[in-house]
Amino acid sequence: MRLAFIVLITLILSGHVHAENSVEIGWEDLEPKGLDFYDPFEELTEDQMYNLALVAEFRDAEASISEKDRASQAFKNIEMDYRDAIKFLEKEGIDIDGLLAQRQEITEKRRLRAKTPNKDINGKQVRIPGYLLPLEFTEKEVTEFLLVPWVGACIHTPPPPAVQIIHVKVDKGVDLDGNMYAPVWVDGQIAIEFSNPELDFVDGVQNIEVGYKIEGGMVEPYDEE
């Protein structure tokens, strides 16, 4: 009995105990059900996407360009880049017209999926891994943060969809120990709640659209086991 008590205390101090009824989930579980669709743009490489975007921008702007501007060297340079992009995409076997015709439809489907939470997990006790972005902290401890699916999200890359970000508030501050990029486990009751908290950057403040919240949860270092 004494040994079991000592083991329990050791586990608590080392941060490996979580709520008994917690269900471990992944970020895919936060995505809405029934809104899956084929997105051909996800199959494109970075170079293919860049050149397709160049073609789209040129075609969108071409109708409004005056004859005077068309005669300028700047337009001729842009037109040359456009033709080079066409050649590159055709060589890659990309259906340019087919993809561009789907732009609006795919954009609307992405927007709907990004703002539709998974109601099946609302109110459940969950355990999910991720990376934190501090919102409120005192000295070295963080008491409020955004949990995101990959390191540097919202900082080095565009923000994930709202339903891929969790606004977390904890009763006990989290000691980052000088490493804010270390992954963590968050354990708590998740709820659907859209908000726009401010995230501080070196060059200013940005409002991030968030689709979920966890309050009073527990945070511990990430451990696959």
Segment among 32-41, 114-123, 158-167 with least mean pLDDT: 32-41
pLDDT of the residue at 156? 59
Both tokens assigned to 134: 């501090």
Positive/negative CA dihedral, 99, 105, 109, 114: positive
Mean pLDDT on 148-156? 74
pLDDT of the residue at 72? 85
- One-letter amino acid of 120: D
Instruction: Return the residue matching tokens 């977390």.
Output: 168
Residue ranges of domains in the chain, CATH in brackets: 21-31+119-221 (2.40.50.870), 40-113 (no CATH)
Rounded Cα–Cα distance for residues 109 and 99 (Å):
15
Residues 6 or more apart from 35 whose CB is under 8 A from it?
A: 109, 112, 113, 116
Rounded Cα–Cα distance for residues 66 and 84 (Å):
22
* Count of C-beta atoms within a 10 Å radius of residue 92: 14
Q: Is the pLDDT of residue 135 over 90?
A: no
Instruction: Return the residue matching tokens 């340019």.
Output: 96
Confidence of residue 7 (pLDDT cuts 50, 70, 90): very low
pLDDT of the residue at 20? 61
HEC profile of 106-121: HHHHHHHHHCCCCHHH
Q: Is 58 helix (H, G, I), strand (E, B) or coil?
A: helix
Rounded Cα–Cα distance for residues 212 and 36 (Å):
20
Q: Is 7 helix (H, G, I), strand (E, B) or coil?
A: helix
At 186, give phi and psi (nearest 5°): -120, 130
pLDDT of 64-98, one tens digit each? Answer: 888 877 788 888 889 999 999 999 999 999 999 99
pLDDT of 94-121, one tens digit each? Answer: 999 999 999 999 999 988 888 899 999 9
For residues 14 and 81, which has the higher predicted lDDT (pLDDT)?
81
Q: Is the pLDDT of residue 1 over 50?
A: no
Nearest to 39 by CA among 103, 114, 86, 118: 103
Both tokens assigned to 65: 């360009």
For 102-210, where are the alpha helices, taking DSSP H only? 103-114
Mean pLDDT on 213-219? 90
Predicted TM-score (pTM) of the model is 0.71
Specify the pairing of strand 141-148 against strand 198-201: unpaired
